[in-house]
Amino acid sequence: MKKIAILLAGVLLALGLAMFAGCGDNAGDEFDPDAGLDTENVFFDDFTEGVRSEYWNIGNSKWGTDNGGVLPQNVKYTEDGILILQCNGDNYTGDLRGHGNDHGRRTGAQIISREYFGPGRFEVRMKCLPRFGSTTAFWTYYYTGENNYEIDIELNVEQDFTAVWNTNWLTLEQSDHYVTNTPVVNNDGEWHVYKFEWHTDPARIDYYIDDVLTHTSQVYVPDVAMPINIGNWFPAGWAGSPDFETDYTFVDWFRYTPYLNNDYTPHAKDGASDESLYPQSPVELPVANLISNAQMESTAEIPVSTSQPGKNAWRQSMNGDVSFAEGQGIGGSTAIELKDGHSVYQYISGMHESFELNLSGYAKTLSGTGRIVIECMPLYTQTLAEYTIEFSGCADFTRLDKTFTLPEGTQRLRVSLEADDGSDILFDDLFCNLTKKIPQSS
């Protein structure tokens, strides 16, 4: 079905039926973005044959500060052709090790085309990484030591998934940087097509999301062939705090269609990465759990109040009777045990008022009563709404379940597990994720 859809799109493109809608800064009314498209020489990959070494290199480096870089182990694919770019936040406790540190926290993933592409139409269909702290990007890049040629689409702008950065560079001092609202909530779990059209005659770059023009730049337009990059990574601060364990960018396909009669400086194709860096076999499509340490298997110390990366994702407001009960969880696993009025909590970031979510989990009452509390919050201020799952008398592990919508202004959740005074409660196997996007009135 995927290949049929792509073939149909290619036929429509070749017939010139695509429409140019919208307008951007300095956009010329008579400009036709379809003029000069070379539909006979399209580069296309839908990843149904994995991450092909003849097409792509695997990112294995670090740029910026306060992160562990991009790791080959975070690049995966499914049998039916979905590229998976894994990203590990501050609550990650797995076996990966990043660049420049002895853990895998703040590590992302990247693929880089071996081909250097000239002016043309660049498109990717993907679901961006939906959490604050990391950014999903689609960009060209060529650095000479003096020049920094680059064209960027970056998502999660200052903890806002309804904005996008469109930037093009000639040097580190010469760039056109534009922030704009987007036609979609980019982390809504839906597929979106991100596109830029790069011309050198006339010199301009048009940026789109789902065929809606978000910006036109006619300054600092590169004229040098560059590889395309697709990836996620952890900037130092401006994307927010990565209060999550592991989440993913999913890529359905990438397509490049060159423009004829647009001069540029070509470059030879890069060599391939070491074969050991490529994923060797497909995996099942992962489903991210917005709850970190949801199975209570990481039994590190639970910090008090503030986030301490490397310790447990759960936090407690004060030192209290909170512990991990090994062998007492579901199927003999580990559960978290709360006694006598104590509680633990964690934050879930990247929320939006258009979301409906479901939270489920299991609880067992050794004595007394308890609850799960979900608080909907802006970034740093008061609670906007609160949902509670009360329970008592659960002698065996009982499933708790709540579907809820987020009120206007919600950007993160605080999820708390609580035991009342004199109570002794076990919690295990929590799960939370987006169930659907709620249509927003215009």
Residue 10 pLDDT grade (very low, low, confident, very high; cuts 50, 70, 90): very low
Clarify whether residues 210 and 347 are in a common domain: no
Beta bridge partners of 128: none
Choosing from 243, 277, 311, the residue where a domain stops is: 277
* Burial class, 122, CB count within 10 angstroms (exposed 0-12 / middle 13-18 / buried 19+): buried
Clarify whether residues 239 and 356 are in a common domain: no
Clarify whether residues 145 and 84 are in a common domain: yes
Clarify whether residues 84 and 187 are in a common domain: yes
Percent of the chain with pLDDT over 90: 84
Quick one: pLDDT at residue 419? 97
CA 386 from centroid of its chain's CA atoms: 26
The number of C-alpha atoms within 13 Å of 224 and in the hemisphere containing its C-beta is 18
Clarify whether residues 271 and 335 are in a common domain: no
> Does residue 248 belong to any structural domain of this protein?
yes
Residue 1 pLDDT grade (very low, low, confident, very high; cuts 50, 70, 90): very low
* Burial class, 100, CB count within 10 angstroms (exposed 0-12 / middle 13-18 / buried 19+): exposed
Average pLDDT over residues 386-409: 95
Mean residue pLDDT of the chain comes to 91
> Does residue 283 belong to any structural domain of this protein?
no
Cβ atoms within 10 A of the Cβ of 80, count?
12
Quick one: pLDDT at residue 61? 97
Is residue 269 over pLDDT 80?
A: yes
Among 29-38, 304-313, 383-392, the least confident range: 304-313
Q: What's the domain count of the chain?
A: 2
Average pLDDT over residues 344-352: 96
Is residue 438 over pLDDT 80?
A: no
Is residue 259 over pLDDT 70?
A: yes
Residue 215 pLDDT grade (very low, low, confident, very high; cuts 50, 70, 90): very high
> Does residue 298 belong to any structural domain of this protein?
no
Clarify whether residues 261 and 326 are in a common domain: no
**For residue 145, what is the DSSP state?**
S
With CA atoms as reference, report the closest residue to 34 among 192, 197, 151, 204: 197
Quick one: pLDDT at residue 319? 84
Quick one: pLDDT at residue 387? 97
Clarify whether residues 187 and 249 are in a common domain: yes
Strands 385-392 and 369-377, by their bridges, are antiparallel
> Does residue 241 belong to any structural domain of this protein?
yes
> Does residue 308 belong to any structural domain of this protein?
no
Choosing from 277, 300, 334, the residue where a domain stops is: 277
Is residue 14 over pLDDT 80?
A: no
Where b means 16+ CB within 10 Å and e means fewer, 223-244 reads bbbbbbbbbbbbbeeebbbbbb
Is residue 283 over pLDDT 80?
A: yes
Angle (CA) 96-101-104 rounded to 5° is 25
CATH of the domain at 412: 2.60.120.260
Quick one: pLDDT at residue 380? 83
> Does residue 303 belong to any structural domain of this protein?
no
Clarify whether residues 353 and 272 are in a common domain: no
Tell me which residue range forms the domain holding 254.
Answer: 2-277
> Does residue 154 belong to any structural domain of this protein?
yes
d(CA 151, CA 16): 26
Clarify whether residues 21 and 108 are in a common domain: yes
Residue 293 pLDDT grade (very low, low, confident, very high; cuts 50, 70, 90): very high
Quick one: pLDDT at residue 15? 34
Model pLDDT for residues 59-82, shown as the tens digit of each residue: 999 999 999 999 999 999 999 999
Is residue 7 over pLDDT 60?
A: no
CATH of the domain at 85: 2.60.120.200
Contacts 24+ apart (CB under 8 A), 265-269: 265/223, 265/224, 265/225, 266/116, 266/118, 266/225, 267/116, 267/142, 267/224, 267/225, 267/226, 268/116, 269/114, 269/115, 269/116
Q: End-to-end distance of the chain based on CA atoms, in angstroms?
A: 33
Quick one: pLDDT at residue 320? 85
